[in-house]
């Protein structure tokens, strides 16, 4: 960490400022988890071929729920092979020390932050989480873990009638759906916590964007929301160009073309140390 960044982090930590961290697809890719939204691979199921942009829609779910579930369960198995990385571990440690002063928003659906035992009250997953399902008919906002019997699936493996029966809502017996924000849906508070995320941004003074892909609207809104506070600053960490880097510099923050795992853990450690 360079001296300028160290001074910035220390100043906010010592003055009582709140820290908001947004982790993006670049963080997941460092853990061997491929992009969820931009996966280029077509998916074949029972003689039909689907594109990812179709499989991530409520429209196709209404027409072919079995195919949509089969693809999501396959991607879930790919995610399960990934392991939490340095960023997830550092964030979980910092959350234990900082309490309400640290909040983490992830644009990923891989559940890696949860697998590091990140405190639930300090974590937002506004894109959803592949490991959970919910009632497709909305009888309850409750989330249910995907049944263990459905884990370990391979690509294009057909779902049996017995397996489809496991994908029923425990409350009403109706169909369930993956707990994922699909492309033709909008953020809301009950399922995705959009209002809570934006309110957290308004109450934060330092925003660190790590591995942000630029594919999700909410993460962009978070970056703009924090600029309403004239004292707030943004630190962008991304080996790839992205729209937040220019915004960060424009409001007096910093941008680094580095890997998230190479810099974010040091930022969190420095913030914890300075916060006392």
158: enclosing H helix or E strand? none
CATH superfamily of 3-35+84-130+187-275: TPP-binding domain (3.40.50.1220)
For 143-200, write each residue's pLDDT tens digit: 999 999 999 998 889 999 999 999 999 999 999 999 999 999 999 999 999 999 999 9
Start-to-end CA span in the chain (Å): 19
Closest by alpha carbon to 184, among 66, 58, 64? 58
SS3 54: helix
Q: What is the model's pLDDT at position 54?
A: 94
pLDDT at 63 over 90: yes
SS3 40: coil
Locate the domains of the chain by residue range: 3-35+84-130+187-275, 43-81+135-180
Q: Answer yes or no: pTM beyond 0.85.
A: yes
Q: What is the model's pLDDT at position 36?
A: 76
Q: What is the model's pLDDT at position 241?
A: 86
Query: At 100, is the pLDDT very low, low, confident or very high (cuts 50, 70, 90)?
Result: very high
Query: What percent of the chain is predicted at pLDDT more than 90?
Result: 87
Q: What is the model's pLDDT at position 219?
A: 86
Q: What is the model's pLDDT at position 34?
A: 81
pLDDT average, residue stretch 199-218: 90
């Amino acid at each position: 960490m360079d001296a300028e960044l160290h001074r910035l982090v220390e100043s906010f930590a010592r003055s009582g400022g709140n820290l908001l961290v947004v982790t993006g697809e670049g963080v997941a890719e460092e853990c061997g988890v491929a992009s969820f939204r931009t996966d280029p691979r077509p998916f074949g199921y029972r003689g039909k071929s689907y594109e990812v942009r179709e499989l991530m829609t409520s429209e196709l779910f209404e027409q072919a729920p079995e195919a949509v579930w089969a693809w999501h369960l396959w991607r879930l198995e790919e995610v399960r092979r990934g392991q939490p990385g340095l960023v997830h571990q550092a964030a979980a440690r910092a959350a234990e020390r900082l309490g309400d002063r640290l909040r983490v928003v992830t644009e990923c659906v891989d559940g890696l932050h949860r697998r590091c035992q990140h405190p639930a009250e300090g974590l937002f997953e506004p894109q959803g989480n592949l490991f959970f399902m919910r009632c497709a008919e909305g009888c309850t906002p409750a989330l249910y873990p995907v049944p263990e019997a459905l884990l370990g699936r391979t690509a294009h493996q057909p779902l049996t009638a017995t397996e489809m029966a496991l994908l029923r809502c425990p409350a009403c017996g109706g169909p369930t759906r993956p707990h994922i924000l699909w492309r033709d849906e909008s953020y809301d508070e009950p399922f995705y916590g959009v209002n809570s995320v934006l309110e957290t941004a308004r109450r934060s003074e330092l925003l660190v964007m790590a591995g942000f892909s630029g594919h999700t609207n909410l993460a962009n809104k978070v970056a703009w929301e924090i600029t309403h506070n004239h004292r707030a600053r943004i630190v962008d960490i991304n080996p790839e160009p992205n729209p937040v880097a220019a915004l960060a510099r424009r409001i007096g923050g910093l941008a680094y073309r580095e890997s998230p795992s190479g810099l974010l853990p040091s930022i969190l450690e420095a913030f914890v140390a300075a916060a006392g």
